Structure 1
Amino acid sequence: MTGHRRRFDQLAWPEIQERAHGDGSTLIWPFGACEQHGPHLPLVTDALFAERIAEAVLAELNPELPIWRLPTQVIGFSPEHQSFPGTLSLSSDLLIALVVQLGEQLAGMGWRRLVLFNAHGGQIALLQVAARELRQRCPAMAVLPCFLWSGVEGLADLLPADELENGLHAGLAETSLMLHQAPELVGDQRPKDGLPGVDGCPVPPSGWSLEGAAPSAWLMQDLSRSGVIGDSGAASAELGQALEQRLVVHWTARFQALLTSDWPAVEKAADRTSAS
């Protein structure tokens, strides 16, 4: 069960019926965005990363494990980038409704788990809200919202501390990963922009930051003329390959653990809810 046989949309309906009702049946739904990524990266950056890492992970997993991939959601929630041409954004209500409505249909087919595999940092919290709303409506299906870069071991060995903390968009990591995965889509510029205290970029007060424990609802035009937050100057395909390896190893282990367990025990939770 390799290649297209992992693709939900390339199966026939009897195959869907059989797989959905199998033990631990799981779908991974890649999420990205269609938004500016500086003058050197394509609008599809986040969606491309989500899809290609998901594909690489599926190729590493035992083909007998019950997991399939939905088509990638390419347009997401990106209002912070709409001052730059090319950015397309769904409203928050529309994205939540999309997840809930399609999720309800998938639950109705019998799927046991739905993993929202997201590579756009601007919709992490929104997809968590959508997941909770969907789970409330479909208590027999587990919903797991994930962020591509979250919790990945070994990134600090590859990226400088400043870039790990402040390289939020189209900086060293994303430029390098794109140089490895799709170099034909990368332009020649290597911007350094949007960093606190650099070229007039505002410095947050002590204890506050763009993202983290005390974040701010920033808009890109507040911080950057180029649409970049970070320093892409040292980006390379070699670094991108190393980053991809870390991502694939991390998520392969996470999905292996999930697919060989009965967690989350949603059926027992649903039974308790019905009994009460």
Structure 2
Amino acid sequence: MECSDSRRSRRLDHLHWPDAASRLRDPRSTLVWPFGALEQHGPQLPLATDALFAERILSRVLETLPDAWPIWALPPQSIGLSPEHRGFPGTLSLSADLLIRLVVEVGEQLAAQGVKRLVLFNAHGGQIGLLQTAARELAARAPSMAVLPCFLWSGVEGLETLIPSQELQNGLHAGLAETSLMLALAPELVGPERPCDGLQSALPPPDGWSLEGAAPYAWFTADISNSGVVGDSRGADASLGQRLNIALMEHWSSLFSSLMVSDWPPAADARRVRGPSTMHP
């Protein structure tokens, strides 16, 4: 009996090592590392919500790309930085320095094996800044490899036509968008509750300050929400979730396509830090 053909897989860990050895040294070799979290998502969504979104949407996007393109997914990092959800059972959080070390150590090994581009495909809003910092540190240590920290929901066109503006701005966690998307991707994991919570804090920040935006503060979910939801999930349905899924897939399919048909990044020598004599003629 023949083994399954690992060459068809878009998962790096499904390849045999001789295949990996040759493919990672392709001039356009690109790996995508999905990042999620293990944290409460209200009474209606699973702890693995962010990790599930990152992994499933990435998998479907990669299926749409030409087989010949040298792009693969790493196994998902399913526990992230989630201190804002402490106090809710089931939430697990790694420290910031541990996650940075993880990205740097794995990334340096990938660069040494010839990988040209590493995309950090993150679906957890609470670690956007952390992964940007980790990416910068890795890029400094491995200048031969481009590092791209991305957030699943950033830059996606058309969200404002699908989600009411108030919810788009303030529905930060387990609200309308996430509940609807889960109903489309894994309805068997969604509970019956549809909370509206976390939008009217007993101690709101002063005028001009907010949970997110131009002047945010470091908030904890338990301080503003009893259910763990920050947003309004009452109108969630699978139809909206499918439209969100299509918007996300189209956005990331386009971005990955533009990356794969390019010769970017430039050679490492062109990206070296310039010396003082060059900076000050």
TM-score normalised to structure 2 length: 0.93
How far 1:203 moved relative to its partner? Answer: 3.1
1:44 and 2:48 are equivalent in the alignment? yes
CA drift at 1:212: 1.2
The residue type equivalent to 1:93 in the other structure is D
Alignment map for 1:146-165 (pairs within 5 Å): 146-165=150-169
C-alpha displacement of 1:250: 0.3
Task: Indicate conservation of the 8 Å contact 1:30/1:72, yes or no.
Answer: yes
Aligned counterpart in structure 2 of residue 171 of structure 1, from 172, 175, 181: 175
Shift of 1:116: 0.1
Cα distance change, pair 168–175 in 1 and its aligned pair in 2 (3 A): same
Query: What amino acid is aligned across from residue 232 of structure 1 in structure 2?
Result: S
Query: Residue 9 of structure 2 aligns to a residue in which SS?
Result: helix
| CA shift in 2, pair 1:53/1:3, >3 Å | farther
C-alpha distance in structure 1 between counterparts of 2:234 and 2:171, whole Å: 12
Stretches of structure 1 that go unaligned for 5 or more consecutive residues are none
Does 264-273 or 154-163 show the bigger shift? 264-273
Output one character per residue of 1:173-201: Cα deviation in whole Å (capped at 9) or x when no partner.
00000001000000000000001x3xx54
C-alpha deviations, 1:70-92, integer Å up to 9, x for none? 00000000011011000000000
Letter in 1 for 2:248: L
- Between stretches 260-269 and 249-258, larger displacement belongs to 260-269
Greater CA radius of gyration, 1 or 2? 2
Number of the residue aligned with 1:215? 216
| One-letter identity of the residue aligned with 1:242 | R
Q: Within 5 Å, which residues of 2 pair with 1:213-252?
A: 213-252=214-253
Q: Which moved more, 1:215-224 or 1:28-37?
A: 215-224
The reply to whether residue 17 of structure 1 matches residue 21 of structure 2 is yes
- Give the AA of the match of 2:207: S
Render the CA deviation track for 1:132-167: whole Å, top value 9, x for unaligned: 011110000000000000010000010000000000
Structure 1 letter corresponding to 2:92: L
1:3 Cα deviation from its structure 2 partner: 8.9
Tell whether the 8 Å contact from 1:140 to 1:266 is kept in structure 2 after alignment.
yes
2: CA distance between counterparts of 1:266 and 1:45? 38
**Aligned residue for 1:27?**
31
Which ranges in structure 2 are unaligned for 5 or more consecutive residues? none
- The AA in structure 2 aligned to 1:239 is L
Counterpart CA distance in 1 for 2:172 and 2:227 is 13
Q: Give SS of 2:119's match.
A: strand
Aligned length: 272
Q: Is the 8 A contact 1:142 1:266 kept in 2?
A: no
Partners of 2:233 and 2:211 in 1: CA distance: 19
Could you report, residue by residue, the CA deviation over 1:27-57 in whole angstroms, capped at 9, with x for unpaired residues?
0000000000001100000000000110111
- Where does residue 60 of structure 1 map in the other structure? 64
In 2, Cα distance between equivalents of 1:268 and 1:147: 29
Answering whether residue 86 of structure 2 is matched by residue 82 of structure 1, we say: yes
The one of 93, 99, 102 aligned to 2:97: 93
1:195-246, CA deviations, whole angstroms, 9 ceiling, x for partnerless residues?
Answer: 1x3xx54433222211111111111111101000000000000000000000
Q: Report which stretch shifted further, 1-10 or 96-105.
A: 1-10
Any conservation in 2 of the 1:7–1:70 contact (CA below 8 Å)? yes
| Distance in 1 between residues matched to 2:180 and 2:273, nearest whole Å | 48
Query: Counterpart in 1 of 2:266?
Result: 265
CA-CA distance at 1:66 after TM superposition: 1.3
Does the residue aligned with 1:6 lie in a helix, a strand or coil?
coil
Equivalent AA in structure 1 for residue 56 of structure 2:
R
Tell me, yes or no, if the aligned pair for 2:6 and 2:14 is still in contact at 8 Å. no
RMSD (Å), alpha carbons: 1.7
* Alignment partner, residue 190 of structure 1: 194
Distance (Å, rounded) in 2 between the aligned partners of 1:35 and 1:272: 39
Q: Would the aligned equivalents of 1:28 and 1:116 in 2 still touch at CA under 8 Å?
A: yes
Q: Is the 8 A contact 1:141 1:266 kept in 2?
A: no
Aligned-pair CA distance for 1:271: 6.1
